[in-house]
Amino acid sequence: MKYRKTFLFLIRAVLFLVILTGVLYCTAVVLQCKDSQYKYADFFRTADQLDVLFLGSSHVINGINPVQFYEDYGYTSYNMGGHGSVVPSTYWEFRNALDYCRPEYVVVDAYMLEKDFHYLDQGEDGEDANSSTDQLHLNMDCWPYSQTKVAAVKDLLSDKKLQRQFLYDFILYHNRWEELGQNDFLQLTGNEDRNILMGAEQRFKVDAVPDIEYPKDDTGMLTGQTQGELYLEKLLKDCRKEKIRVILTFLPKAQVTEEDVQSANSAGQIAEKYEVPFLNFLKKSDVVNFYTDMNDNGHLNSNGMQKVTEYIGQYLHEHTDLADHRGDTGYELWDQRVDEFQQSEAEQTQTQENLYSELMVLGNHSVNYVVYVKAGSEILKDPEAVGLLEELTGTKEIENAVQSGGPYFLAQDDTKGIMQEYTEPAEPDAFDTTAGKMEYIGLPDFGAVYLNGDEDHNLLDMGDNYGSDLQILIMDRKNGQVLKHQCWYAQGQDYQLCEDDVAQGQNR
């Protein structure tokens, strides 16, 4: 009787512990910070299809867009970059990824090669160390518990308590109960929000006046062997062993320090040693325009990302035999991501609240548009805004408007392959657009855009917003329908979107 009671107790205890563990697991999933899951959700879905992995820091996250890659060339890739990710973190990101995929190429960025500390929590100074450790969660939380993850955590962090927080992140995230949202619960069913850019992130600010610097002496090398170099070589050796081909990069920066140059030169030397190509963007001044393509001194904005992705895509196209998977069975998710990316690009053109950002995103070719700058506007005296308009057209025509005082008119219709640009008072002949026959009238004190001869409906606002400096008509690429009409007012070099449009932008 006594043993029976004990036996039943043990059975019940085991069953209870099993249920408790299950509930604890679900709770941990719900409470987990979703940043890492958001970034890597598609990685786990597409791991067996990946041909290329992009590795590195935030410069990579903001610099290379795998969806554009697929759209242009059909190459399947994932952006594994991590904010503040130093080379040892990048190495372990690669090792963790290898547990799930076997890419043909890895593209590794050599930024921060000069960093010479082993443990992130014993970094250069307290603040940097904390920041590096916090940012490591983006690259670590998504990986399920595994030998590789344990090895990574032990190698990157010296503090045992910190190691535990990475291996059992419930310790860290249990108190997220206050901020739980729908998405946290959707994680349980696998329907949570996810990064549609396969790990990449776009930035939309334009640092129109970057601190462009480049050291006079650009021949220096890193002295000794830094931890960054050590881990880069480890990565290269692992790749050689695993028969994965490597391309080293150093992505563009506006403000190039002596350490950057030394890192890039040392990366070049390592590339030579291991006989891998090295794309040093510090020496490719024609790829990005620092005045329009930088989010800040170090990170590219979406325009810069588009150009760098295009460059690397072209390089791979010319120098590798990677397969084009567009249209292949089983790759439908990639096509879906392309559609979503295009839709997101179109939305971006309608939600910016900064004129520079707006002019920058208009260049993403997701919409057709008309830009009208009234005669005598302050905008024509703003070199940054003028530069961004030049970036849109690829011409210097706007300089005439700067000289003459305008008005300035630009109609861009990618669907029809039309670009019309007028830089002084003009009443040109109507021209074909997706929306219909477009007629422009530009007078010193009046502007009008009519469609199909309907002169009762001026698409420009010459009523309430007559005083606005710049108007933009954003039009659907498919049918020419006006999606958004923005009116911008200049106050010096500060630009305000008229309030109605701000509200509409926020509502989207």
The binding site for other proteins (CB under 8 A) comprises 5-6, 9, 12, 16, 19-20, 23-24, 27, 31, 161, 165, 170-172, 174-175, 177-178
Closest approach of Cβ 172 to other proteins, in Å?
A: 6
Closest approach of Cβ 445 to other proteins, in Å?
A: 53
Structure tokens at 451: 């469609």
CB-nearer residue toward other proteins: 10 or 503:
10
CB-nearer residue toward other proteins: 18 or 221:
18
CB-nearer residue toward other proteins: 178 or 456:
178
Rounded to the nearest 10 degrees, the angle between the axes of helix 332-351 and helix 499-507 is 160
Closest approach of Cβ 1 to other proteins, in Å?
A: 13
Beta bridge partners of 245: 105
Strands (E), 27-101: 52-55, 77-79
Closest approach of Cβ 129 to other proteins, in Å?
A: 14
CB-nearer residue toward other proteins: 165 or 486:
165
CB-nearer residue toward other proteins: 26 or 212:
26
What contacts 81, CB < 8 A, 6 or more positions away?
54, 55, 56, 57, 58, 59, 60, 61, 62, 63, 64, 109, 199, 200
CB-nearer residue toward other proteins: 130 or 314:
130
Q: Is 442 helix (H, G, I), strand (E, B) or coil?
A: strand
Closest approach of Cβ 134 to other proteins, in Å?
A: 11
Closest approach of Cβ 128 to other proteins, in Å?
A: 18
67 vs 47: CA distance, rounded Å: 15
Is the separation of the CB atoms in 474 and 483 below 8 Å? yes
CB-nearer residue toward other proteins: 182 or 491:
182
Is the separation of the CB atoms in 350 and 508 below 8 Å? yes
Question: DSSP characters for 175-214?
Answer: GGGGG--HHHHHTTTT-----TTTT--------SS---B-
Strand order in the sheet with 436-443: 431-433, 436-443, 446-451
Is the separation of the CB atoms in 315 and 279 below 8 Å? yes
CB-nearer residue toward other proteins: 12 or 319:
12
What contacts 473, CB < 8 A, 6 or more positions away?
369, 370, 372, 449, 459, 460, 482, 484, 485
User: Which long-range contacts link 327-334 to residues 24+ away (Cβ below 8 Å)?
Assistant: 327/74, 330/49, 331/49, 331/76, 333/42, 333/45, 333/46, 334/46, 334/49, 334/67, 334/70, 334/76
337 vs 420: CA distance, rounded Å: 32
Closest approach of Cβ 120 to other proteins, in Å?
A: 15
Q: Is 238 helix (H, G, I), strand (E, B) or coil?
A: helix
Structure tokens at 396: 């210097």
H-run or E-run covering 25:
helix 2-31
Closest approach of Cβ 170 to other proteins, in Å?
A: 8
CB-nearer residue toward other proteins: 24 or 426:
24
Beta bridge partners of 420: 411
CB-nearer residue toward other proteins: 6 or 191:
6
Closest approach of Cβ 444 to other proteins, in Å?
A: 56
Closest approach of Cβ 175 to other proteins, in Å?
A: 7
Closest approach of Cβ 122 to other proteins, in Å?
A: 17
327 vs 341: CA distance, rounded Å: 17
Distances (CA, A) of 120 to 86, 281, 466: 9, 27, 57
CB-nearer residue toward other proteins: 172 or 482:
172
